[in-house]
Amino acid sequence: MDNFNINRRRFLRGASASLALTTFGARGLDLINPVKPPRVALIGTGWYGKSDLLRLMQVAPVNVVALCDVDQKMLTEAATLVSGRQKSAQRGAAQRSAAQTPRLYRDYRKMLAENQLDIVLIGTPDHWHALQTIDAVKAGAHVYVQKPISVDVMEGEAMVAAARKYNRVVQVGTQRKSTPHLIDAKRNVVDAGLLGKVSHVEMCCYFHMRNNGNPPLEAVPDFLDYDLWTGPAPLRPYDGLPHVRWWRTFSEYGNGIMGDMCIHMFDTVRWMLKLGWPKRISSTGGIYVQKEGKSNIPDTQTALFEYEDLNCVWQHRSWGTPANPDYPWSFTLYGEKGTLIASTMQYDFVPQGKGDKIHKDVVYEKEKYPEDLTEPTQPKIELNAAPATRLHMLDFLAAIDQGGRPVADIGEGHISTASCILANISLKTGRPVVYDPQKRQITGDPEANGLLQRPYRQPWVHPDPNAV
């Protein structure tokens, strides 16, 4: 099912349509509706899983045939929302034979076995991304997987290997590459040469986003399969629903704020400056302030990603005030001719000496997509990210249609994810690390090399990049 076209009339509703056309080209964007809409399924029906699926439904005629989640309440709520949106989209349309109510599953493996799927969206916690992506591409589906792609480096290597072996498109949810004002910054500031040579980059996150507390242990509710939610990760004693953000405060399921937030900014910087693997990575940090709760991820961390004649520095604190209140989660490119600071909300270019300053704000599409304002998901939709996710989905579909690589291809997502994981390995060992992507090993450091792959809880088996 690789030969469907995108419905251009729906696409052109967006305020960023002309930007998308010039950015992505007119690949497959003709006036012909697909004869058979792609069959879509979602694994992980929480906040961002639903948000990704609903953005896809806004830009292309798709047939959502299955939803999967280990939380029965969350799954049922998502089914009601998606079914209603699907019925509304199909009202008066020719695709009346399409399924309007998705089939519901607890176990994603059963869902993959019982449905011929063209596209699988993955919105589960980080510790599930690798197995679900690999199993989905093996089942013949193209995949949109949320960032970070993995919790260890070897998972990421296996995901890339599987995507290439089975010739499937895998788009990573690093949608900054599809953010209209950031596309503008890349084109009209960076690529236009206004910065000159860039030899220093600073990236940061100062959000107070590290959930921390001491909730008591309790019985697992009947509607949640906690063992399956945990999957290959260590089984923590149950102390309340892990979603929305409680799971992110534990290293058992992810890589902390480094893996959650740095990947977005570092991936964007690499895209803007056309950077590959760092030549060396180092990091320091720990729990310096917020020691009172169960959270075991650093509340303070600095990382250095080194390139030839260029240092990229990351800093996060989940306490105190931001260095720049206008840019609490951002990156800054320091060039010999000027400086570019950018975030998900805006960018500012300041020239060195004479020249014009440039300011651009985030693009909203609230008038074009009024359902964004009434979507009953919790937390509410990120209105600033919705246009970017829509463009990201269109790029994903165009890559499938053309048999090419999407803007956030799994290979690029792996470099950005693995670099953040390697920073955490450096923090743990107290030494810089040098990763050789050809040999898939850290050079000259057996202890650090042993941290490239986490142990899996039985009976789950860690994917092997040499045997996917």
Whether residue 31 has pLDDT greater than 70: no
Distant-in-sequence, close-in-space partners of 415: CB < 8 Å, separation ≥ 6: 270, 276, 277, 437
Instruction: Report the percentage of the chain scoring pLDDT > 70.
Output: 90
| 35 — pLDDT class (breaks 50, 70, 90) | low
Is residue 262 within 8 A of residue 203, CB to CB? The reply is: yes
Write down the pLDDT at residue 218: 97
Side-chain-facing half-sphere of 152: CA atoms under 13 Å: 22
Closest CA relative to residue 128, chosen from 13, 22, 20, 46? 46
Mean pLDDT calculated for residue range 222-238: 98
254-298 confidence digits (pLDDT tens): 999 999 999 999 999 999 999 999 999 999 999 999 999 999 999
The confidence score (pLDDT) of residue 96 equals: 43
In this prediction, residues 215-229 reach a mean pLDDT of 98
**Domains annotated on the chain, with CATH:** 8-178+380-409 (3.40.50.720), 180-363+415-449 (3.30.360.10)
Q: What is the mean pLDDT of residues 36-45?
A: 96
- Report the pLDDT value the prediction gives residue 446, as an integer from 0 to 100: 97
User: Could you read off the pLDDT of 341-368 as tens digits, one per residue?
Assistant: 999 999 999 999 889 999 999 999 999 9
Is the model's pLDDT at 19 over the cut of 80? no
The predicted model gives 235-239 an average pLDDT of: 98
How many other β-carbons are positioned within 10 Å of the β-carbon of residue 329? 19
Mean pLDDT for 188-195 is: 98
The region that residue 309 occupies, defined by phi over 0 for left and psi between -120 and 50 for alpha, beta otherwise, is left
In the chain, % of residues over pLDDT 90: 85
Write down the pLDDT at residue 100.
72
